[in-house]
């Protein structure tokens, strides 16, 4: 009985806390120019990191602290319920706008409602993974940048959300598009940082031609500078010396690459 009460208490508390915060986010931009500026700041890193953490991470930490495993399950239930309640409320608030094209309705027709909803919630399970990637971008990459002179990035240019400004997105479509909005920025920034890591320490193509082709989308240096798999270490050293003889050690296609003899290196010049 105590386990059930703890579960219900955590679930209810999470619902109240998240919906109250969501209501506050809706209210802030209506508080004059100062509110609009503050709301705009909340839409990109670093402030966005705290907003996302409040909705996604904080309940999963607080729940177990308060009530152990029943608290964790209650926190997850509260998060899911909050999304469903907010979705219904947001769509109800916009009901006067009348019928309009909806992503959810089209996808429901294409694959069926239960497949659509089940798939979306499956993607939500990987939220902690993206949170860990974001933590690495904030806590691990800056020291790397300082230690070996990797390019620095303005996180807010990558990690931000803006799809709430798109006309016609409401309720279900809006919440999931915002999730993808954040997720895409986090992943893209992580990929950009990893390009620097790979081309600095391991500029060697894979033995598998298929893997090279697949990975070259995210790592263009595979085809534009990395040493062939049947090459030798002398070639690797030559590539590294030529590409990283300056102070900035970005991947070979990065705009802050060094210059050699007053001329900026082109990817094709590396080999």
pTM for this predicted structure: 0.90
Q: What are the beta bridge partners of residue 160? A: 44
**Mean pLDDT score, 5-26:** 97
Yes or no: say if 71 and 182 are a contact pair by the CB < 8 Å rule: no
* pLDDT at residue 257, rounded to an integer: 63
* pLDDT at residue 47, rounded to an integer: 98
What are the residue boundaries of the structural domains of the chain, listed by start?
2-194, 202-270
pLDDT digits (tens, 9 = 90+) for 146-204: 999 999 999 999 999 999 999 989 999 999 999 999 999 999 999 999 999 999 999 99
On the question of pLDDT at 258 being above 60, the answer is no
Q: Is 239 buried (19+), middle (13-18) or exposed (0-12) by CB count in 10 A?
A: buried
Q: Is 237 buried (19+), middle (13-18) or exposed (0-12) by CB count in 10 A?
A: exposed
**101-120 b/e with 16+ CB inside 10 Å = b?**
ebebeebeeeeeeeebeeeb
* pLDDT at residue 243, rounded to an integer: 87
* pLDDT at residue 246, rounded to an integer: 73
On the question of pLDDT at 68 being above 90, the answer is yes
pLDDT digits (tens, 9 = 90+) for 193-251: 999 999 999 999 999 999 999 999 999 999 999 999 999 999 999 999 988 877 778 99
pLDDT digits (tens, 9 = 90+) for 16-32: 999 999 999 999 999 99
């Amino acid at each position: 009985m105590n386990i059930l009460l703890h579960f219900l208490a955590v679930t209810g508390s999470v619902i109240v806390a998240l919906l109250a915060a969501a209501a506050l986010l809706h209210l802030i931009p209506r508080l004059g120019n100062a509110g609009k500026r503050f709301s705009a700041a909340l839409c990109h890193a670093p402030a966005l990191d705290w907003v996302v953490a409040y909705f996604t991470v904080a309940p999963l930490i607080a729940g177990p602290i308060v009530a152990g495993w029943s608290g964790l399950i209650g926190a997850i239930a509260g998060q899911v319920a909050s999304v469903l309640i907010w979705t219904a409320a947001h769509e109800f608030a916009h009901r006067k706008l009348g019928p309009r094209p909806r992503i959810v309705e089209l996808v429901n027709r294409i694959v069926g409602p239960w497949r659509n909803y089940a798939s979306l919630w499956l993607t939500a399970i990987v939220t902690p993974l993206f949170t860990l990637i974001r933590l690495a971008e904030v806590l691990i990459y800056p020291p790397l940048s300082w230690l070996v002179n990797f390019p620095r990035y303005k996180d807010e240019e990558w990690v931000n959300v803006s799809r709430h400004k798109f006309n016609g997105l409401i309720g279900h479509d809006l919440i999931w598009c915002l999730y993808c909005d954040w997720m895409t920025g986090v992943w893209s920034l992580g990929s950009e940082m990893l390009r620097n890591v790979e081309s600095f320490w391991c500029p060697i193509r894979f033995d598998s031609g298929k893997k090279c082709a697949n990975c070259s989308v995210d790592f263009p240096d595979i085809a534009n500078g990395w040493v062939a798999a049947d090459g030798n270490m002398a070639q690797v050293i030559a590539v590294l010396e030529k590409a990283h003889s300056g102070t900035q050690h970005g991947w070979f296609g990065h705009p802050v690459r060094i210059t050699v003899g007053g001329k900026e290196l082109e990817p094709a010049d590396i080999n």
